[in-house]
């Protein structure tokens, strides 16, 4: 089996360039043009992009057909005129009549891809009922191609998309087989949505943003749920806004904990790409599970 690449195998400026591409500040052609200066030892710019892009099979931890789980695709009524929102629901198969703690899972800016489905299954294995909506539903859903997904994501009406996330939270909380206690976890774009949901849902029990955009500081006073914030060490785009929001959370008396993972890249929890940092991801995920058990049990 070939050695798996890590962030240390790439120039930091190339990783910053890739981050700009991932978040829509640079298109594919622009990335390939700029990445050419990092091509060496027979590795082309296109090869660098392929090496940095997700490998879902390599990162899968829980098989979709795991007998310990019950999974299904569900359709959630959309208040934003989208008809319904497609979502992936996972529960432990052994739950029986137990009412399960609830976790809403918010994806990165690619829609509901195989990695986020895997995250949802991981939560179910740990005793939660987890729901992952697909924001790309009104555009046909996750297209199975990350570059196409990035392009489609830029077309979304974010105001309508956020209403769909609110509807998804309400749908999950209302399930008869849940205990009514709702948490949210999100990654990158989804981390920003997790922060935003905490400003919109006064009865949210817990929110865990992974390297997500912070709301405006004046929004902090609306947060009632405890927050567990995970930030990468090398992530200027996200980290620059955090101190002002952190100060506003403190001023508002919001209970929160923040962890900075030294030396890690944006996306360090995503084990399908070289930006994954196993030690930091395991520590952050352990803290996340402990946080949800404390607040949702």
* pLDDT at residue 41, as a whole number: 64
* pLDDT at residue 35, as a whole number: 86
β-bridge partners, 297: none
Confidence of residue 289 (pLDDT cuts 50, 70, 90): very high
| Cβ proximity of 112 and 131 under 8 Å | no
Task: For residue 277, give every residue at least 6 positions away whose Cβ sits within 8 Å of its Cβ, in sequence order, or none.
Answer: 6, 7, 261, 263, 264, 265, 268
Residue 270 confidence (pLDDT) above 80: yes
Task: Give the pLDDT confidence of 28-55 residue by residue, as tens digits.
Answer: 899 989 988 888 767 888 988 888 888 9
To the nearest whole percent, how much of the chain has pLDDT over 90?
78
In angstroms, the CA 55 to CA 1 distance is 14
For residue 12, the tally of other CB atoms under 10 A from its CB is: 11
To the nearest whole percent, how much of the chain has pLDDT over 70?
98
**Left, alpha or beta for 44 (phi > 0: left; psi -120 to 50: alpha)?**
beta
Half-sphere exposure of residue 171: CA atoms within 13 angstroms, side-chain side: 23
Task: Give the pLDDT confidence of 111-161 residue by residue, as tens digits.
Answer: 999 999 999 999 999 999 999 999 999 999 999 999 899 999 999 999 999
User: Which CATH code, of 3.40.50.1820, 3.40.50.720, 2.40.50.100, 3.40.190.10, is assigned to 63-296?
Assistant: 3.40.50.1820
Domain boundaries of the chain, sorted by first residue? 7-53, 63-296
80 or 280: whose pLDDT is higher? 280
Task: Give the pLDDT confidence of 227-243 residue by residue, as tens digits.
Answer: 999 999 999 999 999 99
Mean pLDDT of the chain, nearest integer: 94
| Cβ proximity of 78 and 167 under 8 Å | yes
Mean pLDDT in residue range 284-289: 98
Half-sphere exposure of residue 251: CA atoms within 13 angstroms, side-chain side: 12
């Amino acid at each position: 089996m070939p050695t798996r690449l890590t962030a240390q195998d790439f120039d930091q400026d190339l990783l910053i360039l890739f981050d700009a591409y991932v978040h829509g500040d640079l298109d594919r052609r622009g990335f390939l043009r700029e990445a050419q200066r990092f091509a060496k030892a027979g590795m082309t710019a296109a090869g660098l992009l392929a090496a940095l892009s997700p490998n879902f099979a390599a990162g899968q931890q829980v098989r979709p057909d795991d007998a310990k789980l019950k999974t299904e695709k569900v359709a959630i009524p959309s208040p934003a005129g989208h008809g319904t929102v497609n979502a992936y629901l996972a529960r432990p198969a052994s739950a029986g009549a137990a009412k399960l703690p609830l976790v809403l899972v918010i994806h990165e800016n690619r829609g509901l891809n195989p990695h986020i489905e895997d995250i949802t299954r991981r939560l179910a294995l740990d005793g939660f009922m987890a729901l992952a909506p697909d924001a790309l539903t009104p555009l046909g859903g996750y297209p199975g191609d990350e570059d196409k997904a990035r392009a489609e994501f830029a077309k979304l009406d974010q105001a309508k998309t956020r209403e769909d996330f609110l509807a998804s939270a309400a749908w999950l909380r209302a399930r008869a087989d849940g205990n009514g206690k709702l948490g949210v976890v999100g990654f990158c774009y989804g981390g920003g949505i997790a922060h935003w949901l905490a400003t919109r849902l006064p009865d949210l029990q817990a929110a865990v943003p992974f390297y997500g955009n912070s709301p405006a500081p004046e929004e902090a006073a609306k947060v009632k749920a405890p927050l567990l914030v995970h930030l990468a060490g090398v992530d200027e785009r996200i980290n620059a806004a955090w101190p002002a929001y952190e100060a506003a959370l403190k001023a508002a008396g919001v209970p929160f904990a923040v962890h900075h993972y030294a030396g890690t890249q944006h996306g360090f929890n995503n084990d399908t790409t070289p930006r994954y940092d196993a030690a930091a991801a395991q520590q952050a995920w352990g803290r996340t599970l402990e946080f949800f058990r404390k607040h949702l049990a």
